[in-house]
Amino acid sequence: MSSSELFDNLIQAIEEGKGVADILKGKSEEEIKEAILYMKGDVTVESAINFSESSVTSPLVRNSLVEIVTSGNKMMSDLYNGKCFYSPLVYAIHKGNITAIDDILKYAKDNNFLKELFAAKVTIEHSFIQAGKTTYTPLTYAIAKKNDEAVKLILQYAKVNELLKEALNEQYTTTSSLREEIHNALTFAISVGNEEAYINILERAKDAEMLKEILTSKVTVKSIVGDVKKLTPLECAIDCKDDRAIKCILLYAKKNDLLKVVLNDAANDLYKAVTHGNKAKIVKFYHLLNEPGIAQQVFKAGVFKYIFTQKEANELAEQINKGQYEEAINAIRKRQVLISSAAGIATIAIAVGLAAGAILGGIAMGLTVVTCSLASISMFAVFMNGMYVINSMRIPGEKIIIEAVGIVLSIALIAICLAAIIVAFLSGGVAVLPVAIAGAAMAIGLMVGITTICKAIYHGLNKIEFPDHELGTEKTPDLNKSNDSDVPDHESDIKEGPDDKVTQIKLEKGIGIEEEGVGNGGIAVQSIAV
């Protein structure tokens, strides 16, 4: 029997909700391997709907796509023009056929075979709205489909066969004409809001060394404008405003003495957001800083440990604890203004000092004051006018006409200054070059220094204000209310692995994660306060 025929038999059994052990029984390892790793491409309404459920983040686009591909309108559905490539394991995950998933994983008992299976990507090519492609590993596909039993089985087989690290690090990617994202299993679970999946991953990877690796790994997000973000799982949870993910990451980090390591990148990210006045980003840190004891740790990590004393860090944390978020953020901005101003002044002083030193050196070597001044000032003018021309040429459309006169005059001035440099070179020889270079260095130094000081003054004069509705304080649900259908249950019972371990995580408003003993072999979840 060919691998294609065996593949079709497996798909039919999965479709009917049956196991596949009987089909694989008696087949050679080579036949099984070829059939299980076989990828089939399909253009179907089902694959289109699958794409819409798993890959489109906008509810409006997702609902429109489902409506189009299920309407029977051939002209409209042809606009989708997508293709889904899947393996038997992925199809079993898609259908929720746990028996078939277990059978396939059992028959892939060779470590190398399992490794290939965990790395085998399901690919969805799509040209609806934006051309692009999404690739899942079996694990990330199970996470996307919220097939929790499949997630547990894959993690269980991966851990037993010492392939957990490989399974967790295999990447989910999605690319379009506007955006590219690359996730590992943990960051993907956080990004799609699959709480049970990320708790299972953290519980399975609770070995300190492995946990450190996955908690410090970074997801890459690129946009069409060239913006590139690299986020750790904690930063990803902050970006998604996922309180539960934040709590869980902090809990497991603390239990394995990794809290400082995990908070280091988050602290740097917060400082960068404050420096650039990125209000939307700063607001996302609100929930992290309100975790008991975390604000104090953040203000003693990353850049903060170099710009604040222990006493000042404690004072900032106290402001956060008192609900004075705005005051704490603006206190950081004030410190940043002082540092930036000092850096700007130092840059200007160094630039002027270098230029003055070069001119004095040129005079000492026998050059005249006129020759030195001509070379230095001319190179200064060439650099500054060159930057003006480059920036002006970036202006799109009609606005370029407004800048045309300035561009022409700048180019003319550059030509005159280059001629002056040539004259200085002819009269002073090679000794003029260091003086001319010093003029360019002074231009760079003055430009950077003055820009830094101006930005610092601007940030200093513009305080950031945070109304309650922006911080989410008005929307924070009371997780102790059971009569509100919109409020999530305050306990999540997660059956873990083959021993039916139970991890109970109690997330209550304002108190973080409280100590709670759990069933046989379970873990005790304790407060993250430090």
What amino acid is encoded at 161 in this protein? Answer: N
The pTM assigned to this predicted structure is 0.65
Task: Name the nearest CA neighbour of 69 among 79, 56, 59, 60.
Answer: 79
Split into its structural domains, the chain has a count of 2
pLDDT at position 323 over 70: yes
Containing structural domain, residue 453: 335-461
Residue that finishes a domain, picked among 431, 461, 491: 461
Task: Give the distance between the most distant pair of CA atoms in the chain.
Answer: 96
CA atoms within 13 A on the CB side of 428: 30
Residue 388 lies in a domain: yes
Question: Which residue, 461, 476, 511, sits at the end of a domain?
Answer: 461
Give domain status of residue 403, yes or no: yes
Polymer length of the chain: 530
pLDDT range class, residue 222, cuts 50, 70, 90? low
In a domain, 373, yes or no: yes
Q: What is the mean pLDDT of residues 511-525?
A: 33
The predicted structure's pLDDT at residue 131: 56
Label residue 489 by pLDDT band (50, 70, 90). very low
Give me the helix-helix angle, 88-95 and 98-107, nearest 10°: 160
413 assigned to some structural domain:
yes
pLDDT at 394: 57
Which region holds residue 110: left if phi is over 0, alpha if psi is between -120 and 50, else beta? beta
| Percentage of the chain modeled with pLDDT above 70 | 71
pLDDT of residue 239: 84
Which of 461, 482, 508 is a domain's end point? 461
For 480-514, the three-class secondary structure string (H helix, E strand, C coil) is: CCCCCCCCCCCEEEEEECCCCEEEEEEEECCCEEC
With 80 as the cut, is the pLDDT of residue 301 above it? yes
pLDDT in tens, 273-285: 887 777 888 888 8
Q: Evaluate whether residue 294 is within a structural domain.
A: no
> In the predicted model, what is the mean pLDDT of residues 299-305?
88
Residue 150 — very low, low, confident or very high, per pLDDT cuts 50/70/90? very high
Q: What is the pLDDT of residues 83-137, one digit of tens each?
A: 566 788 888 888 889 999 999 988 886 778 888 888 877 776 655 444 567 788 8
Spatial distance between the Cα atoms of 513 and 526, rounded to a whole number of angstroms: 6
* Cβ–Cβ < 8 Å for 239, 190: no
Domain annotation covers residue 441: yes
Mean pLDDT of all residues in 424-448: 80
Whether the predicted pLDDT of 16 surpasses 70: yes
Q: What is the 3-state secondary structure (H, E, C) of 169-189?
A: HCCEEEEECCEEEEECHHHHH
Residue 442 lies inside a defined structural domain of this protein: yes
Per-residue pLDDT tens over the stretch 336-377: 888 888 888 888 888 888 778 877 877 877 777 778 777 888
Residue 380, in any domain of the structure: yes
Q: Output the DSSP codes for 390-433.
A: HHHHT--TTHHHHTHHHHHHHHHHHHHHHHHHHHHHHHHGGGHH
- Beta strand 83-86 with 122-126: parallel, antiparallel or unpaired? antiparallel
Q: Is residue 447 classed exposed, middle or buried when 0-12, 13-18 and 19+ CB atoms within 10 A define those classes? A: middle
